[in-house]
Amino acid sequence: MTEKLPQEVIESQIYILREKKVMIDHDLAVLYGVTTGNLNKAVKRNIDRFPEDFMFQLTPEELKNLIFQIGRSKWGGIRKLPFAFTDYGVAMLSGVLNSERAVLVNIQIMRAFVKLRNVVSDNSEIRKALTNIEKRLNIHDRQIQIAFDALKSLFHPKPELPEKQYSPEEKKKMGFGK
């Protein structure tokens, strides 16, 4: 029986490419205990099981970005661009690699993908909650500003105009005089 791999090892080998969480063929081959060439041969023999949303080949630019994302090159002298497998592709690999190790490692990898999906889901829920709180705070800010303006007007009343002094002639015209 194969010993269980630390979950952190698997999680550290999941990358974001084309806005998808993927694992690279080289990393998967190491985890499964096969060569990258043999892993890719098994995939090519069953290529109809691996549509574009399960697996795709990296472009030279994506490879450069991935190497930059990792911080060092694990693929020093590669001759072919690596393949990236989404969680669906990794699940499909268990059907084309028929070893006990492949099955056990595949279970761990699927758990890592599910854990990452839950983390992202939790983050989106937190993001929604923060957005709702921000909206409510903006409404409250406006209401508080109105209350403060009203209070300020009580402490700083508008200056009253001085009472106009009328001459006796003006008073007579208005009907106050004799």
Q: What are phi and psi of 156, to 5 degrees?
A: -125, 75
What pLDDT was estimated at residue 64?
Answer: 84
Residue 167 lies in a domain: no
Count of domains for the chain: 1
Provide the residue range defining the domain that includes 39: 7-120
Distance (Å, whole) CA 45 – CA 48: 9
The whole-model pTM stands at 0.56
pLDDT band at 120 (very low <50, low <70, confident <90, very high): low
Distance (Å, whole) CA 90 – CA 95: 9
Residue 108 lies in a domain: yes
Report yes or no: 28 and 90 within 8 Å, Cβ to Cβ: yes
- Which is higher by pLDDT, 91 or 56? 56
Give strand ranges (E) for the chain.
15-17, 20-24, 55-57, 83-86
Distance (Å, whole) CA 84 – CA 55: 6
Residue 177 lies in a domain: no
What pLDDT was estimated at residue 39?
Answer: 92
What pLDDT was estimated at residue 98?
Answer: 72
Residue 39 lies in a domain: yes
Residue 133 lies in a domain: no
